Amino acid sequence: MEELLKQLLAGQQQLVERFNQTEANMATMQQTIATIQETITLMQARMATKDDIANMATKDDIANMATKDDIANMATKDDIAKLDVKIDNLNTKVESLDVRVDNLDARVEKLDAKIDAVKNELKADIAQLDAKLEHYANIQQQDVYHLLRLMNNKLDDLYENIKSVAEITGDHEMRIRTLSRRPV
């Protein structure tokens, strides 16, 4: 049970780490999207329409107009359309990441529920072990008590027997026999 609990905790920690990494990646992607959107807005603001160019084009203006290289470096509608597609792709990826994060949240909740269930089982098992230990301790205590009583009764009987033998043979005779048995 303890090994399963350790595995569940390790899995939960891995999921939390993945979740944090996903959130960091999502924040980076959102910053990139914001930067691209700002760039598109700036590009759209700088672009001139045909009417604007026709109204402005005088000889002096033409002399001051952008060169081919300048125009080549400007974003076209196709470039903006490509950027819009890229933004849409990034939005799709962010949405899929949101789904994955939701799935991870659900898995973490399931793991939390499993961990709680294992904890409850362990508490119940510990309670049962405590009850058994208490029961065995009581039984052993009763056995020791009965053994001590039995030994006490036997010692009392032995004392009474020695006392009876001493009365029969005489106290003086008993002392002599006791002395003769002792090593000198």
Q: What is the pLDDT of residues 96-133, one digit of tens each?
A: 989 998 998 999 899 999 989 989 999 999 999 999 99
Distance CA 16, CA 107 (A): 10
150 within a domain of the structure (yes/no): no
Condensed to tens digits (0 to 9), the pLDDT of residues 127-153 reads 999 999 999 999 999 999 999 999 999
174 within a domain of the structure (yes/no): no
Handedness of CA 7, 13, 17, 20 (dihedral sign): positive
Report pTM: 0.38
40 within a domain of the structure (yes/no): yes
Q: Which residues, at least 6 apart from 46, have a Cβ–Cβ distance to it below 8 Å? A: 74
Give the pLDDT score at 74: 75
Q: Beta-carbon neighbour count of residue 171 at 10 Å? A: 8
Domain range for 22: 2-135
Here the tokens at position 90 are 């990034």
145 within a domain of the structure (yes/no): no
Question: Please, are residues 22 and 101 in contact by the beta-carbon 8 Å criterion?
Answer: yes
- How many angstroms separate the Cα of 105 from the Cα of each of 9, 29, 100, 183? 15, 21, 9, 88
164 within a domain of the structure (yes/no): no
Distance CA 163, CA 169 (A): 10
14 within a domain of the structure (yes/no): yes
Domains of the chain: total? 1
- Amino acid at site 6: K
Question: Please, are residues 125 and 32 in contact by the beta-carbon 8 Å criterion?
Answer: no
23 within a domain of the structure (yes/no): yes
72 within a domain of the structure (yes/no): yes
Helix (H, G, I), strand (E, B) or coil at 75: coil
Q: Which DSSP symbol is given to 74?
A: S
